[in-house]
Amino acid sequence: MNKIQKTDAEWREQLTPEEYAVARQKGTERPFTGRYWDTEQTGIYRCVGCGTALFASDTKFDAGCGWPSYFEAINPDNVRQEIDTSHGMERIEVLCNVCDSHLGHVFPDGPPPTGRRYCINSVSLKFEPTK
């Protein structure tokens, strides 16, 4: 896998201020405000930073949390997990494994078949509808 590395200035030029705050500074959008939390179209959700395919619409489900939620990644090699101890709690952060953009977190309370809930910021994604 070829890692994408850019300077901070290059990221700021490429991304909107909100995308930069979430993807590069590990921010979070408010629940029920993101562009994809209630999208039901068929397609692929790609990384806002590099376009890597991350999640398919057929793995998306309504978790009631206000963020797009998926029970598995398209390719597990495209996402990386790290322990996140910010905000006085321990969670598992999910990042794009190609460009290191912050995506969200994964929790062990999802539906079958994986039991996982990838809770992802809409602003970290670009949706590509199936034609």
What's at 115, amino acid-wise? Answer: G
Asked if residues 124 and 23 have their Cβ atoms less than 8 Å apart, the reply is yes
Marked catalytic residue, from 50, 96, 99, 119: 119
State yes or no: is 119 an active-site residue.
yes
State the CB neighbour count (10 A cutoff) for residue 128: 14
CB-hemisphere CA count at 13 Å for 66? 6
CA angle 52, 81, 97 (to 5 degrees): 25
Asked if residues 123 and 22 have their Cβ atoms less than 8 Å apart, the reply is yes
The catalytic residue positions are 119
